[in-house]
């Protein structure tokens, strides 16, 4: 199982790395061809897509991964549930588009939402096979599909932007991404698995639906919590400010999400297979947290300290409002990195109800905190959310981790605290370059000295992590 996990991580790393590099390339090019208002409008559209897509899966995907034995008749029933739900959601989005545009007082949103509505039907057609490939740890096949889709999306979006399509280039990027991915999942899935029969038996999937309902409810609440900043900034401060904020959030979330998805995509099936042995689940969970933090913290800390230079180099001159957002969001993403593996833990242990109630409370509190923070301007919203999550770490352990595995608060804290201490120490070593001079030389000097210091500290204090990395690189 460990060899399968390492192979899975390697394939997922390749896929996620290539996909996100393509996305960042796409972002860097489009940032120079489009304007902040275009990105602000698309941010609102993607919030709608994110909310509705949760209903498309109905939380059944994680139920399939959690369940170790599934019959072909159950899979067929689940496939047709996905298809019918996708079509229904497309129709719903077509109807609500004009109302969303009216709420934001942005008539352009109506056409954008109508154009992107078919994405739910498209995604539904291949979703089951994507889940089965993940469940069976066939990450090589997933990598091929995701890389092909990302390449096509990048080509399509840049081509449309060069042709003067404006914000519509972002819509076509999303449609092409989902469309090519679905085609690839179907081609691979039909070759590896049986095709779905024209069968639907509701009694066969009741347990999946029950598990999935908590997942779906938790997903909706979690989406509200994670997108409340976009919703408020776009409503209160307009699409231009929202675009400047959204592109900073996209950079930090891509970095955080890249490594996080690599580990969690493999960690969930592995922990699910060991769900009866709490000691092994605890070990897998603590390793996931610590390894994620080892990888993500130094990158996000560098972005935080060099936010002005990152924006100027990566995005260009149009995005002068983005550096303060990027600084705050980088720190916020560090906290998310430490907390996020809890999601894989609770699902692996079959407790989809816990994150539902947790996120319900957190969403309400986040909404209140963000509204309060908006009194200090658009920057006050992410700052207030950052402070909230800094205080939420201990309650997260108490309500989500402690009931499932025998992990003490000190163990939970050390898993994220040790990498943080190493990153802070390395940053201090490189900090003289930030004060001695300005410009490219000082930035490179900081990165080189801090990077060397971090590797030296990691070699001394994180030998187990380095051994795992070498195992990952050497596995066949």
Q: Would you state the pLDDT for residue 150?
A: 92
Residue 21 has pLDDT above 90, yes or no: no
Q: How confident is the model at residue 273 (pLDDT cuts 50, 70, 90)?
A: low
Residue 434 has pLDDT above 50, yes or no: yes
Selected residue with higher pLDDT from 472 and 378: 378
Mean pLDDT over residues 423-436, rounded? 88
What is the rounded average pLDDT of the residues 446-460?
A: 91
Q: What is the pLDDT of residue 114?
A: 93
Quote the pLDDT of residue 378: 95
Q: What is the mean pLDDT of residues 234-262?
A: 87
Mean pLDDT of the chain: 83
Q: What is the pLDDT of residues 340-364, one digit of tens each?
A: 888 777 766 777 677 778 888 998 9
Of the two residues 209 and 143, the one the predictor is more confident about is 143
pLDDT band at 437, cuts 50/70/90? Answer: low
Q: How far apart are CA 289 and CA 342, in angstroms?
A: 9
**Whether pLDDT at 229 is above 80:** yes
In this structure, of 92-96, 269-273, 365-369, 373-377, the range with the lowest mean pLDDT score is: 269-273
Among 120-129, 191-200, 211-220, 273-282, the range scoring the smallest mean pLDDT is: 273-282
Higher pLDDT, 69 or 5: 69
pTM above 0.85, yes or no: no
User: What proportion of the chain, given as a percentage, has pLDDT over 70?
Assistant: 84
Instruction: Tell me the mean pLDDT in the region 124-135.
Output: 82
Alpha carbon 196 to its chain centroid, in Å, reads 30
pLDDT score of 476: 45
Give the least confident one: 55-69, 267-281, 367-381.
267-281
Find the mean pLDDT for residues 20-29. Answer: 89
Task: Tell which wins on pLDDT, 140 or 373.
Answer: 373
Residue ranges covered by each domain of the chain? 2-474
- Residue 261: pLDDT over 90: no
């Amino acid at each position: 199982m460990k060899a399968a996990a390492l192979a899975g991580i390697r394939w997922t790393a390749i896929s996620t790395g290539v996909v996100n590099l393509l996305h960042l390339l796409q972002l860097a090019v489009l940032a120079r061809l489009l304007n902040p208002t275009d990105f602000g409008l698309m941010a609102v559209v993607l919030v709608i897509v994110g909310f509705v897509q949760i209903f498309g899966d109905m939380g059944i995907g994680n139920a399939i991964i959690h369940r170790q034995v599934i019959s072909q008749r159950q899979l067929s029933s689940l496939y047709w549930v996905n298809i019918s739900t996708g079509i229904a959601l497309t129709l719903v989005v077509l109807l609500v588009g004009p109302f969303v545009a009216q709420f934001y007082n942005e008539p352009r949103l109506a056409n954008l939402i109508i154009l992107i509505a078919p994405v739910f039907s498209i995604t539904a057609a291949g979703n089951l096979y994507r889940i089965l490939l993940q469940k069976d740890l066939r990450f090589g096949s997933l990598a091929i599909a995701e890389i092909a889709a990302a390449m096509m999306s990048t080509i399509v979006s840049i081509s449309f932007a060069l042709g003067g399509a404006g914000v519509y280039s972002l819509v076509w990027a999303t449609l092409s991404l989902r469309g090519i991915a679905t085609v690839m999942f179907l081609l691979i899935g039909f070759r590896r698995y049986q095709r779905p029969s024209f069968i639907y038996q509701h009694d066969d999937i009741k347990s999946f639906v029950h598990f999935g309902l908590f997942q779906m409810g938790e997903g909706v609440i979690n989406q509200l919590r994670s997108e409340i900043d976009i919703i408020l900034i776009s409503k209160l401060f307009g699409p231009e400010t929202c675009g400047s904020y959204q592109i900073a959030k996209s950079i930090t979330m891509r970095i955080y999400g890249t490594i996080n998805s690599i580990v969690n995509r493999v960690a969930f099936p592995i922990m699910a297979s060991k769900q009866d042995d709490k000691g092994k689940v605890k070990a897998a969970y603590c390793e996931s947290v610590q390894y994620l933090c080892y990888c993500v913290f130094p990158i996000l800390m560098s972005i935080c300290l060099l936010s002005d230079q990152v924006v100027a180099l990566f995005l260009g001159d149009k995005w002068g409002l983005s550096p303060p957002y990027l600084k705050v969001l980088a720190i916020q993403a560090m906290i998310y990195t430490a907390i996020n593996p809890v999601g894989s833990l609770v699902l692996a242990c079959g407790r989809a109800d816990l994150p539902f109630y947790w996120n319900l409370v957190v969403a309400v509190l986040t909404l209140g905190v963000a509204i309060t923070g908006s009194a200090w301007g658009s920057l006050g919203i992410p700052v207030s959310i950052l402070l909230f999550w800094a205080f939420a770490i201990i309650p997260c352990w108490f309500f989500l981790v402690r009931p499932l595995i025998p992990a003490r608060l000190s163990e939970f804290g050390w898993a994220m605290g040790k990498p943080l201490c190493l990153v802070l120490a390395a940053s201090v070593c490189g900090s003289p370059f930030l004060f001695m001079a300005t410009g490219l030389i000082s930035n490179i000097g900081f990165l080189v000295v801090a990077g060397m210091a971090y590797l030296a500290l990691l070699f001394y204090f994180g030998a187990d992590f380095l051994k795992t990395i070498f195992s990952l690189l050497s596995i066949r």
